[in-house]
Chain A
Amino acid sequence: MRIGLDSKWLLMLVFAVLPVRAEEVVVSAAASLTNAFKEVGTAFEKTQAEAKVTFNFAASGPLLQQIENGAPVDVFVSADQETMNAAEKKQLTIPATRRNFVSNQLVLVQPKAGSPLKGIGDLANDTVRRIAIGNPASVPVGRYTREVLQAERLWDSVQPRVINADSVRQVLDYVARGEVDAGFVYATDAAIATEKVTVVGTISTPRPVVYPIAVVSTSRRTKLAESFIAFVLAPEAQSILRKYGFAKP
């Protein structure tokens, strides 16, 4: 009896020191999902008693590097198939858990105060002094942008005026502050900054912008990670994502 009581106290002490760890799911997600996923996370926490979602938002490339270097992540969400393919190839994610859950569109934006651009062709013009894009080496939106500009035969003329950014949100910030004359972001990013940026137009990409989600191989909470993915695919989360402008995959 007495021994039982002691071990119960000991157990309580352990849980008092490590209260949330057992129930926490860490989600590394593409920067473009920042606003929508915060709301999805809150909704998920309401459905799961004692579950806590912790987000880590950055460009998909750096997120992959963190996971590769042993970051304790349970769910990985990238803004392109390429980064997720790389994760799968390195056996960092579980292929069977991979799902495409939303799609997005590339848009050309410019500062509200700038002289209006008509379309992507105007970028060949030297009066557009600086063009912000995601760094193609690590940021998916930058790769989509480069592919479009290459297909339009604009890349060589645009490249000397390109300002590389660390994530899609940095591109948005550069445009919003008027530090660049144009930039390429996702439609969903432009939608949260309508007071400061103008959308010149939607740009069709050679490959569709489809976001995959998967459980990380080293996750110790695969059950909770899987239920988070199931929640993201379910109607409640999907309608939150629609509200922020994400489309069906």
Chain B
Amino acid sequence: MLPDGALLPTLLTLKVASLATLFAFVCGIAIAFVLARREFVGKEGLDALLTLPMVLPPTVLGYYLVVLFGRNGWIGHWLDGQFGYSLIFTWQGAVVAAAIVSLPLILKSARAAYEGVDRNYEDAARTLGQSELAIFVRVTFPLAWRGILAGTLLGFARAMGEFGATLMIAGNLPGKTQTLSLAIYDAVQAGEDALANSLVLITSIVCVVVLVGSSQILKVRHF
């Protein structure tokens, strides 16, 4: 059904976007909880720092990633020396780039969702002797999940569309790091309009499915 050269980028995009969203989700809901419930010095500074990837041009982000993870970069040099491993030109690099750009979307929505939860419910659980972790799992998260889910779906869509930072850190390797957005760019550059058309169509369909799916999930009231 899929034309030649469309299947690999589609599968890779779904893999990269899912893993990136998973990482961003785990980090996002944890950090957002701390930001919503604790007071500490530099709190708003941390929030701003983690929101930066949403507003920075993707090329700036890509450049930071190359400087950090490149073979001569701070982290990259260490990784190369210790494990002979480099994130550059790998699909894992694409996951890192996509996770960083989708983190702010999940973090922002999760923080707002936590702050919208009535603290009295948490206090009630506390009087019943529940641990802080139990309160989070059984009270706060279930009350905040709709907002978190909305942010996560936005994060997934953003991860799917990641282009600039991905191109800089993961390169554009067909079958290895070439996601849908990179494959579209490549097809247009080479004048392969037929391939570009099918890739654009696939991307649009996946995005519509994500949107429709999310609105269906949001209709469900509870877990």
Contacts and interface: CB of A to CB of B under 8 A. Distances in A.
A106 interface: no
B190 A163 contact: no
A163 B90 CA distance: 11
A177 B192 CA distance: 31
B66 A177 contact: yes
Contact of B174 (A61, A164, A179): A164
A138 B189 CA distance: 6
A135 B88 CA distance: 18
Contacts of A61: 189-191
A68 B188 CA distance: 11
Interface in A138-182: 138, 163-166, 177-179
A65 interface: yes
Given A61-B189, A65-B189, A166-B189, A177 B173 contact: no
Contact of A137 (B66, B72, B89, B186): B186
B190 A138 contact: yes
Interface string B65-86: 0100011100000000000001
A188 to B, nearest CB: 23
B13 to A, nearest CB: 18
B171 interface: yes
Contacts of B72: 177-178
Nearest to A136: B190
Contacts of A163: 89, 171, 173
B29 to A, nearest CB: 34
Nearest to B76: A179
A183 to B, nearest CB: 13
A95 interface: no
Interface residues of B, number: 17
Interface residues of A, number: 17
Contacts of A135: 172, 186, 189-190
A164 B173 contact: yes
Interface in B174-223: 174, 186, 188-192
Contacts of B89: 130, 163, 179
Contact of A166 (B70, B172, B191): B172
A62 interface: yes
B191 A179 contact: no
Given A135-B186, A164-B173, A68 B70 contact: no
Interface string A118-139: 0000000000001000010110
A28 B177 CA distance: 29
B85 to A, nearest CB: 11
A164 B172 CA distance: 6
Contacts of A164: 171-174
Contacts of A59: 189
A164 B176 CA distance: 11
Contacts of B174: 164
Contacts of B71: 177-179
Interface string B112-124: 0000000000000
A68 B189 CA distance: 11
A179 B88 contact: yes
Contacts of B189: 59, 61-62, 65, 135, 137-138, 166
Contacts of A64: 191
Contacts of A138: 186, 189-191
Q: Which 5 A-B pairs have the closest CB atoms?
A: A137-B190, A138-B190, A62-B189, A138-B189, A178-B71
Interface of A: 59, 61-62, 64-65, 68, 130, 135, 137-138, 163-166, 177-179
16 contacts: A65-B188, A65-B189, A65-B191, A135-B186, A137-B186, A138-B186, A138-B191, A163-B171, A163-B173, A164-B174, A165-B171, A165-B172, A166-B172, A177-B70, A177-B71, A179-B88
Interface of B: 66, 70-72, 86, 88-89, 171-174, 186, 188-192
